[in-house]
Amino acid sequence: MAEPNETSFRESVDLMFNRAVALMDLSPGLEEKIRVCNSTYTVRFGVRLRGTIHTFTGYRSVHSEHMEPVKGGIRYAMGVNQDEVEALAALMTYKCALVEAPFGGSKGGLRIDPRAYDEHELELITRRFAYELIKRDLIDPAQNVPAPDMGTSEREMAWIADQYARMNTTDINARACVTGKPLNAGGIAGRVEATGRGVQYALREFFRHPEDVKAAGLSGDLDGKRVIVQGLGNVGYHAASFLRAEDGCRITGIIERDGALFNPDGLDVDAVRDWIAKHGGVKGFPDAGHIAHGADVLEEECDILIPAALEGVINRSNASRIKAPLIIEAANGPVTAAADDILREKGTVIIPDMYANAGGVTVSYFEWVKNLSHIRFGRMQRRAEEARTLMLVNELERLSSDKGLGWTLSPGFKDKYLRGADELELVRSGLDDTMRIAYQSMRAVWHAREDVKDLRTAAYIVSISKVAASYQAKGI
Ligand code: NAD
């Protein structure tokens, strides 16, 4: 939703890409090959609903196939168009490279307001859209693996997985055709909250580096930091809820479709979420002021701003008034290229989308591996791990008693230490590790190079180098 005089989402991504490649030593041919979107398939299909045929328009865009399968979510929103889907597919290429998820970049979208249809109608529409993509190999465990995005959730992913299985009855890896499925349909523990969890891990890693915290004009850790979040959907809700409950952040502002809530003492994120579920919006929520023009709250004083809804919300028209010293882009493309320039000048630190919201694709990668290996993570080793730990604990206790030392392990420690990791713990560990390593790779470039002034340019340099190496290894 950029201003009329603003570049489009895809142009913004290209401008940011160009700024980074200008600092790299790639041949112009390779630069162009990486930048362009390989293909975009547009489909128009009809579904009979309420006695008449409704025609829908959908897209699946493949940005880069330097690794296959390609990966990227499917979005349901009225604003979906080719430009947006191509921008999102490009971001997927860079995101996967940055966090070392072995995929090329893709994205899909359906121009629809999902709230205008009931569940049965949405199932018919989703299955038909999936059918159109599956028959062209645009959904396939080896070639193209979608996931949820705005307006879709595990429910739609389960329908897509089932549709694929019906059309490929002998494919033993059918479940790996889509990620973000419910657990009972081949999903993985921790996927629903993965993107929000990744935002939390990204902020924790940022605050482990005092030099970076200082660059944003902040100090200390996350405890007590004032946070404003835009969009209390899958990503925004989980990020805000974890930051509040586990890191002591104060969520002072929540911006939704029907306005914003603001309370300097902090908002109960779970209560707001329940209120939205019951009343369809934030309006009327007690214990907070309601601001009808929600986007104004983006400009309120806070320590951390988390845009987690739409692209282009921080643009030429409001960038200079943004007071947050630190922005973490939980949504894709919330800051336009023009706004990025203005904010960089002001010294605002931006943790860029391709890193900040990579938790989703990271855990999707784990889910895809789980589906291909046909076994839950931890199933083979968990009890063996517990048995070995118990042996060690028993031996320590025996030694202590033999030598009359009187050492005892506290029961809380013993219980925790003896418990082998289950799938959720392994997923969190893998996600945390990924977010830490990726941040460190970006900051290394940010701090090592005089000509790299921000984390976004650093992120592009790291990811483009990896994509370039893949193309070069292929001999292109
Ligand atoms: P979602 O549909 O679950 O939630 C979006 C939320 O934003 C909803 O609560 C909606 O009411 C709100 N919203 C819509 N328009 C708004 C407006 N004008 N102002 C304020 N709020 C508004 O979507 P999501 O999955 O949380 O995705 C949000 C963003 O995160 C998107 O940019 C998406 O591409 C990105 N993302 C999502 C995932 C994922 O795993 N779901 C992964 C990576 C990136």
CB 366 within 8 A of CB 389: no
For CA atoms 431, 433, 437, 439, the dihedral sign is positive
Which residues form ligand 1's pocket by a CB distance below 6 Å?
148-151, 195, 230-236, 255-257, 294, 308-310, 330-332, 357, 360
Kindly indicate the confidence band of residue 24, based on its pLDDT and cuts at 50, 70 and 90. Answer: very high
The residue with greater pLDDT, 408 or 248, is 248
The 3-state DSSP class for residue 204 equals helix
The residue with greater pLDDT, 416 or 143, is 143
Decide whether 37-187 matches 194-359 in CATH topology. yes
Kindly indicate the confidence band of residue 3, based on its pLDDT and cuts at 50, 70 and 90. Answer: low
Q: Is residue 304 scored above 60 in pLDDT?
A: yes
Ligand 1 centre to CA of 85 (Å) is: 15
Name the catalytic one among 71, 95, 107, 225.
107
> Each residue of 162-221: pLDDT tens digit?
999 999 999 999 999 999 999 999 999 999 999 999 999 999 999 999 999 999 999 999
Instruction: Fill in the amino acid letter for 295.
Output: A
Kindly indicate the confidence band of residue 414, based on its pLDDT and cuts at 50, 70 and 90. Answer: confident
Q: Could you give the CA distance from residue 133 to residue 69 in angstroms, rounded to a whole number?
A: 14
Q: Give the closest residue (by CA) to ligand 1 atom 24.
A: 150
Q: What's the mean per-residue pLDDT of the chain?
A: 96
Query: Where are the domains positioned within the chain?
Result: 37-187, 194-359
Largest Cα–Cα separation, the chain: 85
378 phi and psi angles, rounded to 5 deg: 90, -10
Ligand 1 centre to CA of 473 (Å) is: 37
> Each residue of 320-345: pLDDT tens digit?
999 999 999 999 999 999 999 999 99
Model pLDDT, residue 290: 96
Mean pLDDT, residues 255-263 taken together: 97
Q: Give the closest residue (by CA) to ligand 1 atom 27.
A: 150
Q: Is residue 246 scored above 90 in pLDDT?
A: yes
Strands (E), 183-323: 226-230, 250-256, 259-262, 289-291, 304-307
Kindly indicate the confidence band of residue 410, based on its pLDDT and cuts at 50, 70 and 90. Answer: confident
Q: Which of 113, 150, 155 to mutate to test the pocket of ligand 1 (most atoms within 8 A of CB)?
A: 150
Kindly indicate the confidence band of residue 406, based on its pLDDT and cuts at 50, 70 and 90. Answer: confident
Model pLDDT, residue 4: 59
CB 255 within 8 A of CB 292: no
CB 452 within 8 A of CB 461: yes
Ligand 1 centre to CA of 313 (Å) is: 12
Ligand 1 centre to CA of 330 (Å) is: 9
Model pLDDT, residue 325: 98
Q: Is residue 392 scored above 80 in pLDDT?
A: yes
Mean pLDDT, residues 214-231 taken together: 98
Q: Is residue 466 scored above 70 in pLDDT?
A: yes
Computed over its alpha carbons, how large is the radius of gyration of the chain?
23
Q: Is residue 127 scored above 90 in pLDDT?
A: yes
> Each residue of 87-108: pLDDT tens digit?
999 999 999 999 999 999 999 9
Q: Give the closest residue (by CA) to ligand 1 atom 18.
A: 257
Model pLDDT, residue 474: 84
Measured from the CA of 309, which atom of ligand 1 is nearest? 7
Mean pLDDT, residues 43-57 taken together: 97
Q: Which CATH number fits domain 37-187: 3.60.150.10, 3.40.50.720, 3.40.50.10860, 3.40.109.10?
A: 3.40.50.10860
Kindly indicate the confidence band of residue 84, based on its pLDDT and cuts at 50, 70 and 90. Answer: very high
Instruction: Fill in the amino acid letter for 298.
Output: L
- Residue whose tokens read 């009809």: 46
Kindly indicate the confidence band of residue 110, based on its pLDDT and cuts at 50, 70 and 90. Answer: very high
Question: Is 107 annotated as catalytic?
Answer: yes
467 phi and psi angles, rounded to 5 deg: -65, -40
Whole-prediction pTM value?
A: 0.96
Model pLDDT, residue 400: 92
Model pLDDT, residue 105: 98
Model pLDDT, residue 408: 82
Alpha helices in 352-422 (DSSP H): 353-356, 359-373, 382-402, 411-418
Percent with pLDDT over 70 in the chain: 99
Q: Which CATH number fits domain 194-359: 3.30.70.20, 3.30.365.10, 3.40.50.970, 3.40.50.720?
A: 3.40.50.720
**CA–CA distances in Å: residue 321 to residues 313, 324, 338:** 13, 9, 14
